[in-house]
Amino acid sequence: MATATKQPARREAFGSRNVFILSAIGSAVGLGNIWRFPYVAYEGGGGAFLIPYLCALLTAGIPLLFFDYAIGHRFRGSAPLAFRRMHRAAEPLGWWQVLICVVIATYYAVIIAWSAMYTWFSAQLTWGKGNEQEFFFTDFLRMADVNEVGVSTEFVPQVGVPLLLVWLVVIIIMCLGVKRGIGAANMILMPLLTLMFMVLVVQSLFLPGALDGLNAFFTPDWEALANPAVWASAYGHIFFSLSVAFGIMVTYSSYLKRRTDLTGSGLVVAFANSSFEILAGIGVFAALGFMAAAQGTDVSGVASSGIGLAFIAFPTIVSNATGGSIIGVLFFGALVFAGVTSLISILEVIVAALQDKLGWRRVPTTLVVAIPLAVISMVLFSTTTALAVLDTADAFVNAFGIMAVALVAVIVVAWFLHKLPALQEHLNRRSSFRIGTMWKLLVGVLAPVVLGYLLVNELIAKIAEPYSGYPGWFLSIFGWGMAIALVVVGVILSFVPWSRTSHAKDDPDYDEFLVEEDYDPDPETGSIHVTTKAGAR
């Protein structure tokens, strides 16, 4: 392992198109589909939310997904290399995306660790009926207040140990490579996840009160459609749900074979992701309907999202339902599987970037990436202040990381580099679903407008009052400071020279692809020497 650092000439690849599609679905279907969508839809007008949701999917989600696919497949590299090959000045965008993935990976892993522990707790009803909230915050997380203790270093073993195990599992998957690791994990976990969730939904539907939950979820509130905030939340949700714009889809599509139906695959990925969300909405609200009935209240009184839904509402449902343990094991098991398939896609962005940069083999690169990340993750998130750090990092990296980089990327690619026609042509060359001027308008005009609006809203909200009431010093480190550092470090990294053994300078596979496709040669790659200007058509 340590002796061989030079990579073989050929880029790794998914075994087949179907493996790619399942892996892309595995990445898109994450915790957000299960614990975020149901509540966002419920809050945004119930059944009526379908209209802004589908609009957002068709006019922003799918076009941006195609945009990522086109960049990754055309320039055949990790995010930094793909953007560099598009134009030298675009390279910082790729590093910015890599750093976003670094932040997300550290906290995403801990949620998987919690879910894994709760799968176990569900089987035993460890929390004790009626004690669900107290158990999560006090007994399990041993939560301390950052206002009082600062960032704690007190180790919480019931979180730290499973967290270490999560890292071990994902490191093994990553070391096995794109085909035998990522592809194989998704081929196993995704069908299993779907099956488990279907069983969960069926079981939830038989709970008393389930239909009241579905009634609350699907009853349309048409007046919500007049509220711009509902539309904004639909676009925001679709944007985060599809994992576009932070390097994942660029990286995954660079592992696709040269002649692959990109748009046809993208449509399946996008609709599969939404299909899972609808399924999750049905399962979650059926269960919440039961919870409301059991507590003698309305569904509106128990509806929640995120950590509150997963670690407080669901344990309550598990305690009270007949066969609750099965529901709990299926629900938390689904969170673990959905989380793992997303976490490996996030890590792959970083591993692929370093592989391209250093020209190293997969195993040493994976270890160099994952071990430090695991250490940071353990230090920050297996302590008593984990939840505060996680909450802050998540809120800020979503708004001022993912959303900001997406906005800058579409503006730079569409308006400064004028690459949309070339990307459109690349997609249409090989794809069953042809795209036209409408796609360019959606990516180049609608996406920047919507993303800009969402970003400004986030800025106003986060400046107006301290996020979640955390102290100023804390937010300036883990919130604002982190978000700004991602940009600054991203720009600095783009100035680090690429060595002669890096894939920017030595990539016969890419040269062959350019010749085959009749694209202009790349001025940097070794085997074809050209003196003409940069050849990104």
Binding window for another protein (CB under 8 A); candidates: 151-159, 166-174, 184-192, 269-277: 269-277
How far is 138 from 284, CA to CA, in rounded Å?
A: 25
Nearer to another protein, 259 or 500 (CB): 259
Among 264, 306, 452, 523, binds another protein (CB under 8 A): 264
Contacts of residue 78, defined as CB under 8 A and 6 or more positions apart, other chains included, come to: 94, 98, 247, 250, 251, 254, 349, 352, 353, 355, 356
Nearer to another protein, 139 or 221 (CB): 221
Return the amino acid letter for 229: A
- Contact status, residue 175 vs residue 363, Cβ threshold 8 Å: yes
CA dihedral for 12, 18, 20, 26, sign (positive or negative): negative
Instruction: Please name which of 169, 151, 196, 158 lies closest in space to residue 385, comparing C-alpha atoms.
Output: 151
- Contact status, residue 262 vs residue 427, Cβ threshold 8 Å: yes
Instruction: Please name which of 45, 44, 36 lies closest in space to residue 233, comparing C-alpha atoms.
Output: 44
- Contact status, residue 420 vs residue 444, Cβ threshold 8 Å: yes
* Residues from 458 through 487 that contact another protein (CB under 8 A): none
How many residues lie near another protein (CB under 8 A)?
Answer: 47
- Assigned token pair, 289: 């309907």
Nearer to another protein, 43 or 261 (CB): 261
Does 36 help bind another protein (rule: CB under 8 A)? no
How far is 374 from 467, CA to CA, in rounded Å?
A: 27
Contacts of residue 282, defined as CB under 8 A and 6 or more positions apart, other chains included, come to: 201, 204, 205, 214, 217
Contacts of residue 248, defined as CB under 8 A and 6 or more positions apart, other chains included, come to: 27, 68, 101, 345, 346, 348, 349
* Residues from 415 through 444 that contact another protein (CB under 8 A): 432-433
Binding window for another protein (CB under 8 A); candidates: 63-71, 130-138, 276-284, 479-487: 276-284
DSSP 411-458: HIIIIIS--HHHHHHHHHHH-SS---HHHHHIIIIIHHHHHHHHHHHH
How far is 468 from 134, CA to CA, in rounded Å?
A: 20
- Interaction mask 144-183, another protein, x per CB under 8 A: -------------------------------xxx-xx---
Does 274 help bind another protein (rule: CB under 8 A)? yes
Report the nearest approach of another protein to the CB of residue 263 (Å): 10
Does 48 help bind another protein (rule: CB under 8 A)? yes
Nearer to another protein, 92 or 181 (CB): 181
Does 385 help bind another protein (rule: CB under 8 A)? no
DSSP state at residue 313: I
Q: At what angle do helices 157-175 and 362-381 cross, to 10 degrees?
A: 170
Residues in the chain: 537
- Interaction mask 50-79, another protein, x per CB under 8 A: x---x-------------------------
Report the nearest approach of another protein to the CB of residue 247 (Å): 21
Nearer to another protein, 19 or 420 (CB): 19
How far is 139 from 397, CA to CA, in rounded Å?
A: 29
- Assigned token pair, 461: 């909200």
Nearer to another protein, 97 or 265 (CB): 265
Among 233, 260, 304, 383, binds another protein (CB under 8 A): 260
Among 218, 453, 480, 519, binds another protein (CB under 8 A): 218
Instruction: Please name which of 77, 84, 11, 75 lies closest in space to residue 517, comparing C-alpha atoms.
Output: 75
How far is 357 from 496, CA to CA, in rounded Å?
A: 10
Does 24 help bind another protein (rule: CB under 8 A)? no
Among 143, 267, 477, 534, binds another protein (CB under 8 A): 267
How far is 144 from 483, CA to CA, in rounded Å?
A: 24
Among 219, 437, 476, 499, binds another protein (CB under 8 A): 219
- Interaction mask 306-345, another protein, x per CB under 8 A: ----------------------------------------
Report the nearest approach of another protein to the CB of residue 388 (Å): 36
Report the nearest approach of another protein to the CB of residue 172 (Å): 11
Among 225, 278, 367, 455, binds another protein (CB under 8 A): 278
How far is 310 from 312, CA to CA, in rounded Å?
A: 6
Does 8 help bind another protein (rule: CB under 8 A)? yes
- Assigned token pair, 242: 């599809």
Instruction: Please name which of 188, 231, 193, 207 lies closest in space to residue 282, comparing C-alpha atoms.
Output: 207
Report the nearest approach of another protein to the CB of residue 426 (Å): 17
Among 36, 73, 76, 361, binds another protein (CB under 8 A): 361
Among 88, 129, 259, 434, binds another protein (CB under 8 A): 259
- Contact status, residue 466 vs residue 411, Cβ threshold 8 Å: no
Among 43, 139, 261, 511, binds another protein (CB under 8 A): 261
Does 205 help bind another protein (rule: CB under 8 A)? no
Does 6 help bind another protein (rule: CB under 8 A)? no
* Residues from 99 through 128 that contact another protein (CB under 8 A): none
Binding window for another protein (CB under 8 A); candidates: 48-56, 101-109, 156-164, 415-423: 48-56
How far is 319 from 327, CA to CA, in rounded Å?
A: 10
Nearer to another protein, 12 or 458 (CB): 12
Does 215 help bind another protein (rule: CB under 8 A)? yes
Interface positions with another protein (CB under 8 A) = 8, 10-13, 16-17, 21, 46-48, 50, 54, 175-177, 179-180, 211, 214-215, 217-220, 257-261, 264-265, 267-268, 270-272, 274-275, 277-278, 282, 361-363, 432-433
